[in-house]
Structure 1
Amino acid sequence: MDLEKEIQAGRLLTGTDQKMVEGSSYQLRLGNVYYDLSENGKRIELTEGEKVLIKPGHRVVLITEEEFNVPANMVSRVVSKGSLFSIGLSPVATYADPGFSGNLGIVTQNFSNRYVELSQGEPIAKADFSKLSKPATKLYNGQHGFQAEIWPIKTHLQKTHSEVANDRRVFSEQEEALALLPEATRVTIRRLENRVLWLLAMLVLAISLNGIALYLVETKSHLLDDFYGVLGSLIASGIVAVLALVVGFLGRTK
């Protein structure tokens, strides 16, 4: 099959640019609509010149500028551009069934810690077309989410921690949250938590010792007793300060 001739004739794809034909595939471009699944499937229509903005950790559906028109005897396989992997977007592999007609939605997630901007018309995926040995009998049926102005999300499959807390495979919310982080980050957070606990304990100790010293000062009228009370308070504060320095030093060297 001559892909370039098919596209020139307006078959397989419409709204195309001949420059996007590359070897045996066509480079699909980003349209002016996308959905942010991390914000309850919010539909965002871009103004002229406005870019798609994918926030860190967010999952989005990018809608292609081109429209598919897959005949009954063909199938199209779609993979995202390798250049998008390097900036933190998850890889995509999907397909358009025989009979599919309309713009294609490509789901991807930003795994980086930076905001990703994509310009309208930028190539985001490649589509190739394969001819079947015989026409499919069960063709794609139904409106695509883009045409219906919704994106069908099976939200009933998504659960909060409280809804699955009794499952034996689910740990505390804090442990589950830490499990999502890299090991080095988890270790650092645990060390910080332990250091805070030690510092709080020493703070309580300092307050207690100073309280005892002040009590001795208030209940004794002799000058020597006053001196010993103040000295005890200073010694208690010094001990706590030294312990805090030791804990901080050990925390840095581990």
Structure 2
Amino acid sequence: MAFTPVLHSEWIKIRTLRSLVGGLCAVLLVTAAISALAGVDSDGADFDALSSVFFGVSFGQIAAIAFGSTAVSSEFQGGALRVSLAAVPHRGRWFAAKAVAVAAPVLAVGLVTGGVCLAVGRAVLGAKADGLTWSEGLRGVVGCGVYLTLMALLAAGLTALLRSGVATLSILIPFLLIVSFVIGDLSGTVADVLPDRAGQVVFDETWDGPLGPWAGLGVTALWSAAALLAGAWSVRRRDA
């Protein structure tokens, strides 16, 4: 089977599962809502307008991770993977189509989410956002879409490797909410190259670490690529 019909079949799976559609909606709602709340309570000498506008991404990424994980873990329930591979014997092609089917809707929703956060954030911050340039705003919007997509792909790759959405979420969510926050302020250490900390530099007006906005996203992309390669290896080498 050619790649296009394989991709089409994977897209049908995603758009017909209510949990996945709900996960995409949650990305937008959670990110925009928390960003708006963060803008209301934005004070202090270290105030960063761009970071405040996109503060909700730290929480919206949980919904993106859940989406990527669920999209893959559904294949390991009830023998669904055996059916998929019977239709598409080329395992690499099937997994590539799955990854694209995960990435495309998250990227679209992420860009919309970034635009909504920028508009809502500017409205909530008022005069505090006057120093925020449109180039910085555009960087934040594009970075929002790319970052959420990379985190969803990271989850998808780990789920294919572990063959369990629960295991993936049990690793990633505590890591993002606890471990990363604990060591996140230690600039110049391993914290600078963690997938979330590196990628979220794109939401800072200024940064002190060694990574710039796009270099940080590049590091996150390397983490996601490694997870996808590991997942592809697992799909190709292990029994369905």
Per the normalisation by structure 2, the TM-score is 0.24
Higher share in helix:
2
Per the normalisation by structure 1, the TM-score is 0.23
Higher RCO (C-alpha under 8 Å, 6+ residues apart): 2
Which protein is bigger by CA-based radius of gyration? 1
Higher share in strand:
1
